[in-house]
Chain A
Amino acid sequence: MHFFGAQLFALYALTVLVFGCGAPLKSADEVAPIFDNAKSLSTKMLEICDLVSNNQAEPNFSNIQFDRNGCEAAGTQSQDLKPNTEIILAEVKTRKGNDLQVSRNGTQPAIASSATPATDSSNEIAVGTRLQIWLNRPLLKMVQVLVPALNKKTEAMANDGSTATTQQEQSKFKIKIIGKPQFDQENMSLKLELSVDSKRSDNSMFDISNRFVINGGLIKKKYIFATITTAAEADVKTSLIKRGKILLFVVPHAKDIYVDVVTDMTFHAFGVDAAMQEQILQFLRKALRMIPDFLEKAENL
């Protein structure tokens, strides 16, 4: 076959393949979304960041150490969700007074490298964490299993219009929705308030009792972004958590679902920071584990 014949054959083969695969001919404008789909994860996260950072009210990045750089680093320290996987925190920051320690790769930072005088009057300790996790399932499947689960959970609320309680068997967190959640259909946003209680005898060495406000919704009809903030500062007598904020990103990407959870919580300190830090991280791992656990459970309903 001479050169012209080869070109013809190639053109023929391409035409057959394109039509044979059922792909219709598309204009440049029509194929643009295909390339749009090839956005990187960090590009998607930056889309969320850029929109959210301009928000005057929640959900936004106020009162938390998180910015565009954080969005850009999405997925770089992620783990895959598998049954019984231990939650590895991608990043841990601890702050006591002006002393900030950061660690990555699941290790824990030492809050202080040397002993400090017993008269240290700082009575709070801030712990920031980041969890990056791939749920290992496409969103469509999640929707199929989550909708019945959500409906079941919310049925009682729809009936009495007020509250619903849930309790994770292992972690013994009692979560109660306060009042009526508000859904804004125009902006596809949701606001709800809930109380979280955990007694020391059930769960850990301390009591937790806080009210949290969740503000979130759909961003660009593609992504979910929510903030969870403490409604008020809690006294040490009622809760170890003094105040805090959590950012939750849910981004469908590469036929999987990427979940990024950034926490910045301030705890009452007891002058034994190394022990506190271990307890707090254990608590946060347990609390964060509830997110994938809920998704796992929903699939089995």
Chain B
Amino acid sequence: MKMPLATFAVVLAGTLALACSSGDAFKGGTAERKPPRLAPGSADVAGVVETAKPILAIEYDVSVDTDKPMNLCKGTANVLINSTLKFRPTGKLKCLLVGEKDLSELFKDEGVEEEIDRTKVPEAGKFTRKANTSGGARFTPPRPNLLGPLIQDVDIYKNYRYVEESTVEVNDPQSGPISDKGAFFIQVLEAGVPFTAPISGQRYENVIHWEISASGFTNAGKIGVFEKTEYWQNARPISIPQIKMYTKLSQLFSGGMSAIGDAFLGKVIITISVKSESRF
């Protein structure tokens, strides 16, 4: 016999109610006991602290060149990405004139992150965001970071463009608090295309080639924002086989030489290309 759910609800309720009132097993006899628990109750395990786990270790070849072209620095970066998608590269670059440089100095912006309420920012789900930088700059709204990161359908990124105005505040040790305004512009150049990493030769089948540029910020160097960053991001398995950053020498290296360098050398391009990667 078939009947709609509404009737089912009533029939089920009636059956249950009858069972209860007749003192049937539904009520659960007074002699019944709950089984002893082998595991502690919820209160006992509520204190279990989940720590971020490493998910991906990538070794990158790093090359800093000018658009003339001229190689300024060479080195290797090791990046350990954890399950909160936080990462900070370690390694050293050997550079002309300035000698050895620590990579953490170049990538100031990959440090502090805040929990962001995804439901209260525009384009939620399209890309990740970060509110702070390790240099202390704070963006409102939290600035765009990476696409995805779990990209189930690359097609939604085909021809994707997005512009967002941003305000940034930073406490500069020399000049005090600085408030600056600018805009971020995301542009997807290709989506769902293959890409072969130039150093490792590894082929990635489902790459989104995209860029994010920053414009209008007058204190870009102080807030750790590059003029443009270009990503080759593989959707599945997740990886970033190559990144190119476009900036000025003065933003990378402080000191009098840098300002002169800007005039003579033009743009600086940092190319980060995967050498090997391991998954956890």
Task: List the interface of chain A (C-beta within 8 A of B).
Answer: 33-42, 74-80, 82, 85-86, 88, 90, 104-108, 110-112, 114-118, 120, 123, 134, 138-140, 143, 146-147, 150-151, 154-155, 157-158, 161, 177, 180-186, 188, 190, 192, 199-202, 205-207, 218, 221-222, 236-240, 252-256, 268-276, 278-279
Stretch at the interface among B18-26, B61-69, B101-109, B132-140: B18-26
- In the complex, what's the smallest C-beta–C-beta distance from B180 to chain A, in angstroms? 29
B7 in contact with A183 (CB, 8 Å): yes
The answer to whether A39 touches B32, judged by C-beta atoms less than 8 angstroms apart, is yes
Instruction: Pick from B4, B124, B153, B278: contact of A117, CB below 8 A.
Output: B278
Docked Cα-Cα span, A202 to B9, in Å, equals 31
Query: Is A252 in contact with B150, judged by CB distance below 8 angstroms?
Result: no
Q: How far is the CA of A194 from the CA of B40 in the complex (A)?
A: 35
Of B3, B16, B38, B235, the contact of A143 (CB 8 Å cutoff): B16
Residues 239-261 of chain B, each 1 if its beta carbon lies under 8 Å from chain A, else 0? 10000000000000000000000
| Interface range, B side | 35 or more
Q: Does B99 contact A (CB under 8 A)?
A: no
Q: Is the CB of B7 within 8 A of A271?
A: no
Interface of A is mostly: loop
- Which of A36, A42, A112 touches B25 (beta carbons < 8 Å)? A36
With A and B bound together, what is the CA distance between A80 and B7 in angstroms? 32
| A273 touching B55 in the complex, CB below 8 Å, given contacts A120-B279, A158-B6, A185-B11 | yes
With contacts A151-B9, A272-B238 known, is A157 near B45, CB below 8 A? no
**Given A74-B35, A143-B20, does the pair A157, B42 have CB atoms closer than 8 Å?**
no
B54 pairs with A240, CB closer than 8 A? no
Which residue from A82, A182, A238, A272 sits with its C-beta under 8 Å from B237? A272
CA distance A140 to B237 in the complex (A): 51
Cβ contacts A to B, 28 pairs, < 8 Å = A37-B29, A37-B31, A38-B32, A75-B37, A76-B36, A86-B42, A88-B45, A105-B45, A106-B42, A115-B280, A117-B278, A120-B237, A138-B27, A139-B20, A139-B26, A140-B20, A154-B5, A154-B6, A201-B119, A205-B149, A206-B152, A218-B15, A222-B19, A222-B25, A252-B25, A255-B28, A271-B237, A271-B238
Asked if B5 and A157 sit within 8 Å, CB to CB, the answer is yes
Which A residues touch B9, using CB under 8 A? 147, 150-151, 154
5 smallest beta-carbon distances between A and B, as pairs: A271-B237, A37-B29, A115-B278, A201-B125, A38-B31
Please give, as numbers and ranges, the residues of chain B lying within 8 Å of A140 by CB-CB distance.
17, 20, 26-27
Cα–Cα distance between A72 and B269 once the two chains are bound (Å): 64
Q: Is B262 an interface residue (CB 8 A)?
A: no
Chain B residues numbered 44-78 whose CB sits less than 8 Å from any CB in chain A:
45-46, 48, 50, 53-57
Whose C-beta in chain B lies nearest to the C-beta of A188? B15
- Of B40, B85, B155, which is within 8 A of A275 by CB? B85
B96 at the interface (CB under 8 A from A): no
Taking CB as reference atom, which chain B residue is nearest A78?
B37
A279 contacts across to B, CB distance below 8 A = 150
**A37→B279 contact, CB < 8 A:** no
A253 contacts B34, C-beta separation under 8 Å: yes
B236 and A271 within 8 A (CB): yes
Return chain B residues, CB-CB under 8 Å to A39: 25, 32
Query: Is the Cβ of A272 less than 8 Å from the Cβ of B40?
Result: no
Q: In the complex, what residues of A have CB within 8 A of residue B26's CB?
A: 139-140, 222, 252
Whether B97 is near chain A, meaning CB under 8 Å from some CB there, is no
Q: Any chain A CB within 8 A of the CB of B39? A: yes
User: In the complex, are the beta carbons of A106 and B45 less than 8 A apart?
Assistant: yes
Q: How far apart are the CA atoms of A183 and B8 in the complex, in Å?
A: 6
Nearest residue (CB) in A for B3 is A183
**Contact residues in A for B20 (Cβ distance below 8 Å):** 139-140, 143
Task: Write the chain A residue with the least CB distance to B42.
Answer: A79
Select which of A186, A253, A255, A269 is within 8 A of B1 by beta carbon: A186
A274-B45 contact, Cβ under 8 Å, with A158-B6, A252-B26:
no
Check if B42 sits within 8 Å of A88, measured CB to CB.
yes
Interface centre among A112, A158, A181, A270 (most CB of B within 10 A): A270
CA distance A40 to B32 in the complex (A): 7
Render B156-190 as a binary contact track against A, CB cut-off 8 A, 1 for contact.
Answer: 00000000000000000000000000000000000
Residues of B with C-beta under 8 A to A186: 1
- Residues of chain A within 8 A of B83, CB atoms compared: 272, 274-275, 278
Which residues of chain B are within 8 angstroms of A34 by Cβ–Cβ distance?
A: 29, 31
The answer to whether B27 and A139 have CB atoms under 8 Å apart is yes
Are the CB atoms of B2 and A184 closer together than 8 Å? yes
Specify which chain A residues have a CB less than 8 angstroms from the CB of B48 in the assembled complex.
106-107
Known: A37-B28, A115-B279, A270-B238. A240 touches B6 (CB 8 A): no
CA distance A112 to B55 in the complex (A): 10
Question: Nearest CB to that of A276 among chain B residues?
Answer: B150
Residues from chain B with Cβ under 8 Å of A143 in the complex: 13, 16-17, 20
Provide the residues of chain B in CB contact with A40, threshold 8 Å.
32-33, 35
